[in-house]
Amino acid sequence: MKATPLTQDFSRFIAASPAVEILRIAIVVVVGLLLFRILASLVRRLPARGLTDQSRLLLSRIVFYSGIVIILVSVLDQLGVKLSALFGAAGIVGVAVGIASQTSLGNIISGFFLVAERTFQVGDVVTVGAKTGVVHSIDLLSIKLLTFDNLLVRIPNQFIIANELTNVTRYPVRRMDFSFPVSYSSDLKRVREVLLDVARSVPEVLEEPEPLLIFDSFGSSGINILFGVWFHRHSYVEVKNTVLSEIKARFDAAGIEIASFSSSIALSPQPIAIQVVGGIDDGKVGNVVSNPDAPRAGV
């Protein structure tokens, strides 16, 4: 069919109209974003074995951010921006941005090391510095911890690489230590029996590995004891509460005293003789010494 002048005019209008151009770009952006979001979501649900949650999370983010770059390049192309010139400029800008964002780049690279090391994964309980919580997400720049009092803590990846991190739930069994002194008058054989019986009586305390009992040292208030019981990581609160209350109850029943720091002062019924060295009359305060022959206060 031969185009009439009217249709030719319309085609020219369509091709040149900024509104159509904007519409086309909007479609590219919307459809592209939707597509890459779906792709990222699919990657996150990959059933592949050997992929941890954090690997999936990272992969899905790489897919999504790569998609954004592709969409951006497409939009710029639509707008008629010459990409070769842009990339040339991007090199210069990249150096500037790189220098300006050293910390961010450091965090991104640290993030890759963290993922490669597999020290922890999403869902683990970790301690970093003074913060303990469940790993909520592992992102490009940071990890997010959900603390047990329901706070979200962001820790930069670089900080984790440079500092000590403890993965509390990496292994299925853990030992819980109880340290306390018993009074010097306690029968240590009886203390041992009672503590081992406490371990036997709490069902969540594992029979093996066996409980640890060490009479650690002579302390200022009593004999320091280290008592450790093994438990499955899911029973932390139950074991902590039950063992502690059982120790208290059984010690009370057995007449074993948990020593607390205390001092007793026994004063002699006789007055302490004090000798004044130097003159008082002249208005100067002299040295005061106790009479070595006089009875002393005992501390």
Find the angle CA(33)-CA(76)-CA(31) to the nearest 5 degrees.
Answer: 20
Distance from the Cα of residue 42 to its chain's centroid = 29
C-beta of 5 vs 172, nearer to other proteins: 172
C-beta of 233 vs 296, nearer to other proteins: 233
C-beta of 60 vs 235, nearer to other proteins: 235
Beta bridge partners of 173: 232
Report the nearest approach of other proteins to the CB of residue 205 (Å). 8
Report the nearest approach of other proteins to the CB of residue 142 (Å). 28
C-beta of 120 vs 180, nearer to other proteins: 120
Report the nearest approach of other proteins to the CB of residue 26 (Å). 51
Report the nearest approach of other proteins to the CB of residue 208 (Å). 5
Report the nearest approach of other proteins to the CB of residue 38 (Å). 37
Burial zone of 256 (CB within 10 Å; 0-12 exposed, 13-18 middle, 19+ buried):
buried
Alpha carbon separation from 230 to 175, 196, 248 (Å, rounded): 4, 12, 19
For residues 148 and 133, give the distance between their C-alpha atoms in angstroms, rounded to a whole number.
Answer: 6
Please give the structure tokens belonging to residue 122.
Answer: 């999403």
Burial zone of 199 (CB within 10 Å; 0-12 exposed, 13-18 middle, 19+ buried):
buried
C-beta of 182 vs 202, nearer to other proteins: 202
C-beta of 144 vs 170, nearer to other proteins: 170
Instruction: Tokens 């209350």: give the residue.
Output: 245
Report the nearest approach of other proteins to the CB of residue 231 (Å). 9
Q: Is the peptide bond before 209 cis (omega within 30 degrees of 0)?
A: yes
Contacting residues toward other proteins, per CB under 8 A: 171-173, 200, 203-209, 230, 232
For residues 101 and 292, give the distance between their C-alpha atoms in angstroms, rounded to a whole number.
Answer: 74
For residue 218, give the 3-state DSSP assignment.
Answer: strand
What is the β-pairing status of strands 173-182 and 223-232? Answer: antiparallel
Report the nearest approach of other proteins to the CB of residue 196 (Å). 13
C-beta of 52 vs 221, nearer to other proteins: 52
